[in-house]
Structure formats: structure tokens, C-alpha cells
Amino acid sequence: MSSPPLSKLHIRAEIDMVAVRRSLRVAASELGFGITDVTRIVTAASELSRNIFRYAGSGTMKWRALDEGGRTGIEITFEDKGPGIVDVEQAMQSGYSTGGSLGMGLPGAQRLMDDFDIRSSIGKGTTIVIKKWVRR
């Protein structure tokens, strides 16, 4: 095994998104995820870290290994103190975008993961927790 991955990263610049992807690729591989699920985890994390940078300016990504009832997984939390999401339900619809993109970020990340929880307060920020379980 290589050196342990970082469990918390600050997202303040584009280069930080590279660090998020790299650390989660290592962590997910070491937890026993196959290449397809590693790619799903890294892709979802890339979308969510990009949203933090683009819409909030800065935030954090934290991850932890899960061991529940003999299942192994990863939980990743993205948190910012940005403007918040006005209409979470609308933001979770495929094709909806406030930034001129294809609108696949949040719903795409949700589809890639096993669990997806989003909480947002106007003027206080957004927290998204995603989970993926190793398939045996």
C-alpha cells in the first residue's frame, strides 16, 4: 500500500480539484473498489469539487472509510460557505444549470454514487454527502 491518502482537502483553486481526484483515486483503490467504481467516485467528486470552486469560491472535501455490517465503503463530504442553492429540487433535475453548463453535475454525481444527500441554506452554504459501497 502507498502512503495513506489525505482525509481532508481545501478547495480554493483549480489545482485543488486535481488533489481531490488523486487522493480519492488512491483511497478508493486501497479500500478495494474496482476500476469502474473508482472512476465513478472520482468523477462524482470532480463534479462536486468543481461546483464548490465555481459557485462558492472555496470549501472542503473530507472522506472517511466506512465499515458497516461487514460492508466496506467510502463517505465523502463536500462543504462550502457559499451563497447556497435557491431551489435544490430544481438543481437536481438533469439539464438544469445556472452556469451555462449542460446541467449534469449534481444529478450526474447522484447517479454515480449509492447514496447522495444535499443540504443547502441560502447565504450559509451547501453540504453534500455521497457514499459508495464496495461490490463483492
Digit-coded pLDDT (tens) for 37-47:
999 999 999 99
pLDDT of residue 29: 97
User: Whose grid coordinates read 450559509?
Assistant: 124
> How far is it, in rounded angstroms, from Cα 50 to Cα 48?
5
Digit-coded pLDDT (tens) for 39-93:
999 999 999 999 999 999 999 999 999 999 999 999 999 999 999 999 899 888 8
Element (DSSP H or E) covering residue 67: strand 59-68
| Rounded CA Rg of the chain | 14
| Ordered DSSP codes for 89-126 | HHHTSTT--SSSS-S-HHHHHHHHSSEEEEEEETTTEE
CATH architecture designation of domain 8-133: 2-Layer Sandwich (3.30)
Domain boundaries, the chain: 8-133
* Strands 71-80, 115-121: pairing kind: unpaired
> How far is it, in rounded angstroms, from Cα 134 to Cα 38?
10
- The pTM for the full model equals 0.89
